[in-house]
A and B are shown apart, each in its own frame.
Chain A
């Protein structure tokens, strides 16, 4: 089993829609969590950290469910500019944190 697993998509949604992505993780990648955004042929960029209490940043909400070992990202009022790949990231439970990436979920927002 992969340490971090995501549905690769693509998720095709119209502008203004609400879309949610889930990501599951294994025990070995369960220390801290992040969502990164990656545009085509560009580097990944941090979108938001994921806290146990859940956190919100504008139209984006991230939640963590440790009991079921998944994290989620909710995007409200989708914009065309939200089209990208969203990477779920966990960190290894070793002495030195190491980022472990999922394969990414591709989002396409259409007019």
Chain B
């Protein structure tokens, strides 16, 4: 499978715990996005990378959230001291710019904070 891969698919954690998600983009894609989606809403932008550089972070991304893409390939999103409001689907997408503008999404990581 050469699409965007996210792990884990599901994560249940207790409030206050730290969680880390991984995203492996399509191999030649230089841009990688993280989005968050809650029920009944469209995906909300969190952050994105051009190669290994993190170019923009949303105001939604509090200091408990951090993302990395150390070698310009896979990326990780960490949430520290999780809160119930963090429960959502976390989606990763990748694209190849400037050739393509459309982005391809992974299947997401569904986080439930109890």
Contact = CB atoms under 8 A, between A and B. Distances in A.
B107 A43 contact: yes
A88 B40 CA distance: 14
A101 interface: yes
Interface stretch (A44-52, A56-64, A72-80): A44-52
B101 A42 contact: no
A43 B102 CA distance: 14
Given A96-B55, A99-B33, A104-B42, A43 B101 contact: no
A22 interface: no
A97 B95 CA distance: 11
Contacts of B50: 96
23 contacts: A8-B40, A32-B101, A34-B101, A34-B102, A43-B105, A43-B107, A44-B105, A45-B105, A46-B103, A46-B104, A87-B43, A96-B48, A96-B56, A97-B101, A98-B48, A98-B56, A99-B33, A101-B35, A101-B42, A103-B40, A103-B42, A104-B41, A104-B42
Interface of A: 4, 6, 8, 32, 34, 42-46, 49, 87, 91, 94, 96-104
